[in-house]
Amino acid sequence: MDILNRWAHPLAVEPRPERTESGDDLSARFKRADALNFQLIVESIPALVAVLTPTGQVEALNQPVLDYTGKSFEELTGWANTDVVHPDDMAPTIQSLRKAMESGDAYELESRHRRADGVYRWFHVRGFPLKDTDGRILRWCFLLTDIDDRKRAEAQLAGEKRLLEMVASGCALTDVLTALCKFVEDTSADCHCGVYLIDWSGPKFRIGAVPSLPSTFNDPCEGLTVSLDVGPCGVAALTKTQVIVEDFESDPLFQSCAIRPLSLAHGFRSQWSTPIFARDGRVMGTFAIFQTNPASPTQVQQDLIAQVTHIASIAIERALSEAALKRSEAFLAEAQHLSRIGSFAWRVATNEITWSEELYRIFEFDPHVRITLELTGTRIHPEDLTLFHDLIERATSSASDFQYEHRLLMPDHSIKYLHGIAHGTRNEDGELEFIGAVQDVTNRRLSEEALGKARAELAHVTRVMSLGALTASIAHEVNQPLSGIITNANTCLRMLAANPPNIDGARETARRTIRDGDRAAAVITRLRSLFSKKDTTIESVDLNEATREVIALSLNELQRNRVTLRSEFADNLPPVAGDRVQLQQVILNLIRNASDAMSGVDDRSRELLIRTELDGGGQVRVSVQDAGVGFDPQVMDRLFDSFFTTKNDGMGIGLSVSRSIIASHQGRLWATPNEGPGATFSFSIPFARDV
């Protein structure tokens, strides 16, 4: 029998020695029957089966082995020296076999085996020992299962996964498309691939990736017009269908197309062009496979083409939208750069801070550093740090929008002025997040400061000028009668000294002297009434409210002077009767004085405290406390004199005017030095009893 012949060494022919010695014929007969059964079973298995002796000699091979390999049993006994196992897999195969024989354990292996036509296919190899009842190994049995389709699918899947990963990780489009072409070329032997992108404004083809095609082929393709005459890719793009040219030589449709001579000159007989669609159905490009032999795609190849064109479509679309996004980001960055506005996001819970490019530029930080509050703090001007920390604390505790102005001290000791606005929101997890914009207002602030300085100088000059004019007018008004007084007195003396004395004349001039003296006094009275002239409106005034209004008016100036303002308002403060505007002028004056007094303070925070409270004796008290230079207790009495000032550039009129306003409200204005640095100016006025 053929079958038996192929079993060159039937299993039962080599009985175990001890059994033979025992002479148990019945047992041997049974064993022979077992062996025959085994042999029949093995032959009927559709898989490839090999049986080896415990020492590794090929003992038996079933028919499928001989059919698959196309080799004879004799050829295969020396398999280790042939190419039946793929050269790359031979060493692991031998090693695994040797190891198994030493240990006596079954094992599994995946390796490529050569088919009769020379194609290597993947097999799952399972080797297991056949043992007798005592556990001794009689034979090694090998079962080879063809897993090539699965393996191929796996490889294709892995390839696709790798490509998708490239797309997802933001690899450059050219890299993705190049990998894609290589993948197809590796998977499907003997072919060249190309991805051609379409610029519809031409419309023109642009080469996306052509990793294995020569430049003599590629260069003429670049920039070809997308038309029906250009070749398979043009037709595919315009008709939105796959175009299969099995053989350029014989295909009647493409006899006169532009690409034909080029393809044939490079030995490409067949070309398969598949359109690459965007999600909205537009054609973004074509995927082409060139082969030297006339061919049409198999189903497997069609599946592969469908898969890669899909990936190519994702990659191209993503690249296009990324380019669009980058363009709009570039626009935004440019706008931010032009307006010197940076933006930020700050997730409070995690302290995660994101800055725009421009904000990095404003702070002059390397764009790669991780931004933290601490790092930001290193740039804040030391004098503004307290303000900055206050701001952070207030923002995080109140979760409200905030605005701020502060300075940066740059490493080169230059100063930048920033104006920021932030909006607090809660994200989907309920976490507080601030999104804000920061503008570099240095130029504006510097010009503002220059303007402010000019204005202040002008104000000072005006004040001095008006004071000068006032003095001149006072002098003129007073000098006229004085002149009369002196002239008359002189005349009087002369008349008395004459011989004889002119008594009547002297009496007359003396009388005129008195009259002129009265006139001078009248001038002074008139001037005084002119100065104290006022149109007061007495009404019921809520000092809390009045103070709040003043604070609102002064906040900007205080912030510019880097003064931190705190207020403590007494509840249920009774209203006072008075002139609201005048009282507000006093409060404003006290706040300005306090702010001015702190302008030179750099070693502590410039804190200003405004307090309203009920004072004893039916009075309301407003006090303004600063941390400024304070004053010498010895000069306390003179503080409120007109023209007394501790300020270098002050006129000192404010406090005396303030005091007279408060006095006209039956109130009192006074100053006390603080325990710590600075002074407190307070006034108290009686509250309205019948308003």
Partner 1 sequence: MLMPGPTNSRSKCCRCEQKVFMTRKRSLVSVVDDDESVRESLPDLLREFGFEVRAFSSAEEFLTSDCVDQTKCLILDIGLPGMTGPELQQELKNRRQEMPIIFITAQRDETICSRVLEQGATACLFKPFSDTALSDAVNAALE
Distance CA 161, CA 483 (A): 110
CB closer to partner 1, 373 vs 469: 469
Other C-beta atoms closer than 10 Å to the C-beta of 346 total: 23
CB closer to partner 1, 491 vs 682: 491
Upstream peptide bond of 275 is cis (omega within 30 degrees of 0):
no
Report in angstroms how near the CB of residue 678 gets to partner 1 at its nearest. 43
Stretch that binds partner 1, among 320-328, 415-423, 484-492, 683-691 (CB under 8 A): 484-492
Per CB under 8 A, the list member of 77, 187, 343, 487 interacting with partner 1 is 487
CB closer to partner 1, 282 vs 511: 511
The yes or no reply on residue 339 touching partner 1 (CB under 8 A) is no
The yes or no reply on residue 686 touching partner 1 (CB under 8 A) is no
The yes or no reply on residue 188 touching partner 1 (CB under 8 A) is no
Per CB under 8 A, the list member of 178, 491, 544, 589 interacting with partner 1 is 491
Q: Which residues pair with 671 in a beta bridge?
A: 681
The yes or no reply on residue 481 touching partner 1 (CB under 8 A) is yes
Q: Which residues of 291-305 are buried (b: 16+ CB within 10 A; e: fewer)?
A: beeebebeeebeebb
Report in angstroms how near the CB of residue 490 gets to partner 1 at its nearest. 4
Q: Which of residues 580-639 bind partner 1 (CB under 8 A)?
A: none
- Interaxial angle between packed helices 173-187 and 299-339, expressed in degrees from 0 to 180 and rounded to the nearest 10: 170
Per CB under 8 A, the list member of 173, 257, 495, 608 interacting with partner 1 is 495
Q: Rg (Cα) of the chain, in Å, rounded?
A: 52
CB closer to partner 1, 25 vs 504: 504
CB closer to partner 1, 28 vs 520: 520
Stretch that binds partner 1, among 173-181, 420-428, 440-448, 486-494 (CB under 8 A): 486-494
Secondary structure (DSSP) of 107-152: EEEEEEEE-TTS-EEEEEEEEEEEE-TTS-EEEEEEEEEE-HHHHH
Span between the terminal Cα atoms of the chain, in Å: 133
Per CB under 8 A, the list member of 232, 484, 678, 686 interacting with partner 1 is 484
Q: Which of residues 202-221 bind partner 1 (CB under 8 A)?
A: none
The yes or no reply on residue 57 touching partner 1 (CB under 8 A) is no
Size of the site for partner 1 (CB under 8 A): 24
Site mask for partner 1 (CB under 8 A), range 514-553, x = bound? -xx--x----------------------------------
Handedness of CA 52, 53, 57, 59 (dihedral sign): negative
CB closer to partner 1, 246 vs 477: 477
Other C-beta atoms closer than 10 Å to the C-beta of 631 total: 17
Q: Which residues of 377-404 are buried (b: 16+ CB within 10 A; e: fewer)?
A: eebbbebbebbbeebbeebeeeeeebeb
304 vs 17, 170, 208, CA distance in Å?
A: 58, 23, 19
Return the ∠ at Cα 45 (arms to 42 and 48), rounded to 5°.
85
CB closer to partner 1, 444 vs 515: 515
Handedness of CA 165, 167, 171, 172 (dihedral sign): positive
CB closer to partner 1, 446 vs 472: 472
503 vs 500, 506, 508, 651, CA distance in Å?
A: 9, 5, 9, 51
Distance CA 461, CA 651 (A): 11
Stretch that binds partner 1, among 141-149, 338-346, 381-389, 493-501 (CB under 8 A): 493-501
Q: Which of residues 433-472 bind partner 1 (CB under 8 A)?
A: 472
Residues that bind partner 1 (CB under 8 A): 472, 475-476, 479-488, 490-491, 494-495, 498, 505, 509, 512, 515-516, 519
